Chains A and B, each alone.
Chain A
Amino acid sequence: MTDYWTNKLVFDLQGPHGKDQWTNHRAEVIARYPVPPKIEQALLNDDIGVLIPVINPYLMRFFLLMLGYDDAKSIEVLESFQTDEERKRVNG
């Protein structure tokens, strides 16, 4: 099960002012949610590797789009965290 509050934060950013809130008021947004300090730091620093295990993948896709990543960039960023087993599975 993914982390409730971290996902709640990302879920709520889907609203009409989400991108503006995240771009211009990130620390205040994060402060509204009781996320662990490690996650707070990862959110402040766009540390995707820390966030992958705790954010639902469909919300992660939205989160990356909101950060301004197109599909190619999202794939590149996520692929950099592939395990050997995942790489083998994808490449056959």
Chain B
Amino acid sequence: MAKLVGSFAASHAPNIARSWDTLQDDTRDWLTTRYDELGKRVKALEPDVLVIHSNDHWINFFLENMPAFLIGVGEEHDGPPEPFMQPIFNGCTFPGHAGLGSHLLEFAMDADFDPAYSHRIKIDHGIGIPLWRMGFETLPPVVPVFLNLMEEPFPTPKRCLAWGHMIRDAIEAYPEDLRVVVLGTGGLSHSIGETTMGWIDEPFDKACMDLFANAPDAKIASELSRMLKETGNGGAEVRSWSIAHGAAGGKGFEMIDYIPMPETLIGCGLAEWKFAA
């Protein structure tokens, strides 16, 4: 049977890629060492598949069709089309895992979730940046899972926590012997294209970390729902962290590191949920 062997979260700001060569040295050093550490921890778990949750950024979806959740069930996915990602991935494709992806889809439907699905999806910077910075020599197959955080209404934090629990149950019900790592990308606080653009809400970020470290699901759900109304729009991406938290069974949260990073416009954070696999 498949086994969930790790759960992680990491930020994915476009400026990490767009401005990499012109970032201040200490910013680039911070990003290099922390994402290296994330990569080291993930690789040490020897994953066969990565199930990565992120939000689309007007790449795959527009207002004609905005799935709340979408699972990539294909054998292969397209690389990031954004111009600032071209020098990194240069039009490459990403290996998918059709077996696990299809199983997650069917399990989710049986569990009364109703995700959309795609047999070929574009992996944008939301997934591409953490994968790039983690530095895989050979990238394991990826099952991408997108949630709508672009145009409200969004899935609630409560629903995202429940989704995370469901994803773990689904992984552990898959009959093939696979070691699976869940990764949630995005956050922490940021404000993009709105009148508060550039605002990094450190109290929000610290409160999120405290919730994941100490609070039960019900409190995380209620507090995030309240806090997200008061912070910048990019804070919505903490829902991906909630999914990683749910997948980990709400246990073992450990920040790898956090820093407010004005050059990339985000509160930049990386985390692992340590649990006995």
The chain A residues found within 8 Å of chain B, CB to CB, are 1-2, 4, 7-8, 11, 14, 52, 55-62, 64, 71, 74-75, 78-79, 81-83, 86, 89-90
B63→A75 contact, CB < 8 A: no
A78→B58 contact, CB < 8 A: no
- Give Cα A11 to B152, complex, Å: 17
Across the A-B interface, give the 3 residue pairs with the lowest CB-CB distance, nearest first. Answer: A57-B193, A61-B193, A60-B193
With both beta carbons as reference points, the residue of chain B lying nearest to A70 in the complex is identified as B19
A59→B195 contact, CB < 8 A: no
A90→B199 contact, CB < 8 A: yes
B38: interface (CB < 8 Å): no
Total A-B contacts with CB atoms under 8 angstroms apart: 65
Enumerate chain B residues within 8 angstroms of A79, measured Cβ to Cβ.
195-198
With both beta carbons as reference points, the residue of chain B lying nearest to A52 in the complex is identified as B195
Q: How far, in Å, is A89 (CB) from chain B's closest CB?
A: 7
Q: How far, in Å, is A17 (CB) from chain B's closest CB?
A: 13
B62→A78 contact, CB < 8 A: no
B265→A4 contact, CB < 8 A: no
Among candidates B150, B196, B198, residue contacting A56 with C-beta atoms closer than 8 Å: B150
A11-B62, A59-B58 known; A78 vs B230 contact (CB < 8 Å): no
Q: How far, in Å, is A42 (CB) from chain B's closest CB?
A: 16
Determine which residue in B57, B58, B150 has the highest number of CB atoms from chain A within 10 A of its CB, and name it.
Answer: B58
- For chain B residues 227-245, which have a beta carbon within 8 Å of chain A? 230, 233
B27: interface (CB < 8 Å): no
B63→A7 contact, CB < 8 A: yes
B195→A56 contact, CB < 8 A: no
Enumerate chain B residues within 8 angstroms of A4, measured Cβ to Cβ.
63
B194: interface (CB < 8 Å): yes
A-B contact pairs, 14 of them (CB 8 A): A1-B151, A2-B63, A2-B151, A7-B62, A7-B63, A52-B195, A56-B151, A58-B193, A61-B192, A62-B193, A71-B198, A79-B195, A86-B195, A89-B230
- Give Cα A14 to B197, complex, Å: 21
B195→A8 contact, CB < 8 A: no
Q: Mostly helix, strand, loop or mixed at chain B's interface?
A: loop
Enumerate chain A residues within 8 angstroms of B151, measured Cβ to Cβ.
1-2, 56
B15: interface (CB < 8 Å): yes
B196→A86 contact, CB < 8 A: yes
A79-B197, A90-B199 known; A57 vs B15 contact (CB < 8 Å): no
Determine which residue in B57, B152, B198, B265 has the highest number of CB atoms from chain A within 10 A of its CB, and name it.
Answer: B198
- Give Cα A89 to B150, complex, Å: 22
A64→B193 contact, CB < 8 A: yes
With both beta carbons as reference points, the residue of chain B lying nearest to A55 in the complex is identified as B193
Q: How far, in Å, is B56 (CB) from chain A's closest CB?
A: 10
With both beta carbons as reference points, the residue of chain A lying nearest to B233 in the complex is identified as A57
A4-B63, A89-B230 known; A59 vs B193 contact (CB < 8 Å): yes
- For chain B residues 173-215, which have a beta carbon within 8 Å of chain A? 192-199
Enumerate chain B residues within 8 angstroms of A75, measured Cβ to Cβ.
197-198
Determine which residue in B15, B63, B197, B233 has the highest number of CB atoms from chain A within 10 A of its CB, and name it.
Answer: B197
B58→A14 contact, CB < 8 A: yes
Enumerate chain A residues within 8 angstroms of B197, measured Cβ to Cβ.
57, 61, 74-75, 78-79
A4-B63, A58-B150, A71-B15 known; A81 vs B58 contact (CB < 8 Å): no
Among candidates A8, A57, A62, residue contacting B194 with C-beta atoms closer than 8 Å: A57
